[in-house]
Amino acid sequence: MTREEKRVIAASSAGTVFEWYDFYLYGSLAAIIGAQFFTPFPEATRNVFALLAFAAGFIVRPFGALVFGALGDLVGRKYTFLMTILIMGASTFLVGLLPNYYQWGVAAPVILIILRMLQGLALGGEYGGAAVYVAEHAPIGQRGYYTAFIQTTATLGLLLSLIVIISVQGYVNGNYPDQPVLDAAGAAMSNPDGTPMMQKAFNAWGWRIPFLGSVILLLISLYIRLQMHESPAFKKMKEEGTASKAPLKEAFGTWKNGKFALIALFGLTMGQAVVWYSGQFYALFFLQNVVKVDSFTANVLVAWSLILGTAGFLFFGSLSDRIGRKPIILAGCLIAALTYFPVFEALTRVANPALHAAHQTPVTVTANPDDCSFQFNPTGTAKFTSSCDIAKAQLARTSVNYTTVEDPAATTATIQIGDTVINSYDAGAVTGDEAKTAKTAFETGVNDALKAAGYPLVAADNTSVAVASNFVDIFTGQKLAIIAILTYLILLVTMVYGPIAAMLCELFPTRIRYSGMSLPYHIGNGWFGGLLPATAFAISAQSGNIYSGLWYAIIVAAATVVIGAIFVPGGTQNKSMFTDDPNHKVHH
């Protein structure tokens, strides 16, 4: 690797790391931000909303790919970099300044989603440009290895965001007192026993610091981008006058090139995306919100798995130069589809043994099917007051695995926990003191039965759950086992993601490469991947099984294996990036 090639990779990777850091701050803090900006909604709906706000950035990524991909093919890779980093940095900084729900009402979550969409537009142009820029500098035989450095940036950006969050969280919570929890009107909330409901200072206001601090990374990124030169392939193309005048039309308007976009989407990026987000973001969300590991400990454990597994990107990128991209990517998708259920079950068993043991007690909800509804409320107007909805919501809050038994003759839903049966109640049929009495009796009955079945309902009393007191507090059998499981998931990520940039670049000619590879990548990762956490959580909440949401990732990954095996071309690692320059003399 020449000095110039090293500088190209370092400059591209460093700037892209900072963009991913900005983008993933929200994902790492989704649960905390959800409580700040979606305050009026029930907890289950709030969690889905928080994940959908995270996914909003992914939904618009294909549009960013179209806009900035076309610009990259028309005016060059370098200037597109500068635009994307400015949009990303400014949007992230403004999230840190944005007032929460009780200060600005519904305007707060609306503006939050707009800022997330701006981040997604910027990232839609960023990744494709970085991958193409490096690929066009790489010699034949090392393209997978060179572009693998770009592939590490997403994970390194996530790791950087976790390290910053852990550091700020430790400092703020250690030096500032707890704060009261506020409702949508800004009034302090109380626990059922009348004591004030409190939250850590980081959850109240400290989460803003990592967003505000990103302005420093913005300045560094701008300096790095200004030092970069244009891609030699793009310069050569412009000098010869062979650049495309309508890259989007040329890339997607004809079957000759358009078919490769479809092949890339359904035979590569669709499965790669769900494996990526399952192994990193959903694993983090699963630990925090389902297994009930505290957010600091979950971030520490995921951060260590990222440190241990990141080298896999370079290994599999380099390996793909020798044996091909296709077999490695499809093998990663297949292994993930076959092992996700036992791996996530093992994660629960190791991280929270008490919760896993409690899951062995059968729990059933018997109800009239007409009495049960899908409890995701995107408008905030629906009222889930039926006895079935109340029963399911109560169990979902405590990560209970249960089955639903349909009984058309049932007038009131019942919950059976072991041998104990608790009658639910219809909140719409009672009011005033009668409603309070029914609610208290029901919740007390359910909680008593769950405690008897071993469910750890009080976090402070659960001595079995994993807890890390600091970043290096990992040297116990339990925490090392969790890190090993998470590292396995990261290695699957590196299998599918390490070779993907080189593979996508090799499918399209130079004149439309930026546009051609960006769109299928960002549809796959923005839509199939970005929607995974919210979709998986909603499926699990509806079905009553904390693992059922994994079916989404498994089905998509398996479909990619089948489609990719049939339609994706092999041997692309031996292909020249320039049809008129098979020996890559342009690089020398």
Residue 365, strand partner residues = 404, 415
192 Cβ contact list (under 8 Å, min separation 6): none
With contact defined as beta carbons under 8 Å apart, do 389 and 368 qualify?
A: no
Helix ranges (DSSP H) in 352-499: 353-358, 387-396, 432-452, 477-497
Nearest to 30 by CA among 59, 60, 52, 58: 52
Nearest to 311 by CA among 493, 160, 568: 493
CB burial string 116-154: b at 16+ within 10 A, e below:
bbbbbbbbbbbbbbbbbbbbbbbeeebbbbbbbbbbbbb
Residue 253 has what DSSP assignment?
A: S
With contact defined as beta carbons under 8 Å apart, do 131 and 154 qualify?
A: no
Backbone angles phi, psi at 116, to 5 degrees: -65, -35
pLDDT tens, the chain, 588 aa long:
677 777 778 777 877 787 778 767 887 787 788 888 887 777 666 776 776 777 777 778 888 888 888 887 777 777 787 788 888 888 889 999 999 888 888 888 889 888 988 888 888 887 787 888 888 888 878 999 999 999 898 888 888 888 899 899 999 999 999 988 887 777 888 776 678 888 899 999 999 999 999 888 888 878 877 777 766 666 777 676 766 677 778 778 777 778 889 999 999 999 999 999 899 888 988 998 889 999 889 989 998 999 999 999 999 999 999 999 999 999 999 999 999 999 999 999 999 999 999 999 999 999 998 888 765 544 444 567 889 988 988 888 788 999 999 999 888 999 999 899 999 998 888 777 888 888 899 999 999 999 999 999 887 788 999 999 998 999 999 999 999 999 999 999 999 999 999 999 888 887 888 888 888 988 888 789 877 877 887 788 778 899 999 999 999 999 999 999 999 999 888 877 765 455 545 444
With contact defined as beta carbons under 8 Å apart, do 451 and 457 qualify?
A: yes
CA dihedral 429, 433, 436, 440 (to 10 degrees): -120
3-state secondary structure of 123: helix
Query: Which pLDDT does position 337 carry in this prediction?
Result: 97
Sign of the torsion angle spanned by Cα atoms 338, 342, 345, 349: negative
Tokens 């770009």 sit at which residue? Answer: 150
With contact defined as beta carbons under 8 Å apart, do 337 and 554 qualify?
A: yes
Q: Quote the CA–CA distance of 177 and 199 in Å, as a whole number.
A: 9
H/E stretch holding 277? helix 270-277
Q: Give Cα separations from 468 to 162, 226, 297, 445, 464 (angstroms).
A: 14, 41, 5, 33, 12
Query: Which pLDDT does position 1 carry in this prediction?
Result: 67
Sign of the torsion angle spanned by Cα atoms 72, 493, 306, 135: negative
Query: Which pLDDT does position 379 carry in this prediction?
Result: 45
Q: Quote the CA–CA distance of 267 and 565 in Å, as a whole number.
A: 8
With contact defined as beta carbons under 8 Å apart, do 402 and 544 qualify?
A: yes
Residue 521 burial (C-beta neighbours within 10 Å; 0-12, 13-18, 19+): buried
Q: Quote the CA–CA distance of 131 and 505 in Å, as a whole number.
A: 8
Query: Which pLDDT does position 576 carry in this prediction?
Result: 75
3-state secondary structure of 365: strand
Query: Which pLDDT does position 537 carry in this prediction?
Result: 76
47 Cβ contact list (under 8 Å, min separation 6): 31, 34, 289, 537
Residue 402 has what DSSP assignment?
A: -
**Residues found in the chain:** 588
**Domains of the chain listed by start with CATH number:** 1-243 (1.20.1250.20), 248-352+465-587 (1.20.1250.20), 359-461 (3.40.30)
Q: Quote the CA–CA distance of 3 and 195 in Å, as a whole number.
A: 64
Residue 366 has what DSSP assignment?
A: E
Beta strand pairing status for 363-367 and 403-406? parallel
